Amino acid sequence: AQSVTQLGSHVSVSEGALVLLRCNYSSSVPPYLFWYVQYPNQGLQLLLKYTTGATLVKGINGFEAEFKKSETSFHLTKPSAHMSDAAEYFCAVSDRWQFYFGTGTSLTVIP
């Protein structure tokens, strides 16, 4: 079975500070892992994904995530937060059939 745990439903950072959003997963098959961002009243936009190959993946808007199999983690980071990064972030795992989403982390950026 597949599942995703996002630690911290709310994260606040100062503008320019490091962003770290945590995601741990469980999967009975080699996982495909995703981070999505959602702005109010909008659908989900893919930030980045890991399928195979390099474990450090870079996405849009300066975000990156590292797949750590030993820790079953796929944490999302960004070196310097921008006001426009304020949004809801969802981690997801896919078993190639369905997508399983975490409960989401709301990121607030403080000016």
Residues that bind other proteins (CB under 8 A): 32, 34, 36, 41-46, 49, 51, 90, 94, 96-99, 101-104, 106
Query: Which one, 43 or 111, has the nearer CB to other proteins?
Result: 43
Q: How far is the CB of 97 from other proteins (least distance, A)?
A: 8
Query: Which one, 34 or 63, has the nearer CB to other proteins?
Result: 34
Beta strands in the chain (DSSP E): 3-5, 10-14, 19-21, 24-26, 32-38, 44-50, 56-58, 64-68, 73-78, 87-94, 99-101, 105-110
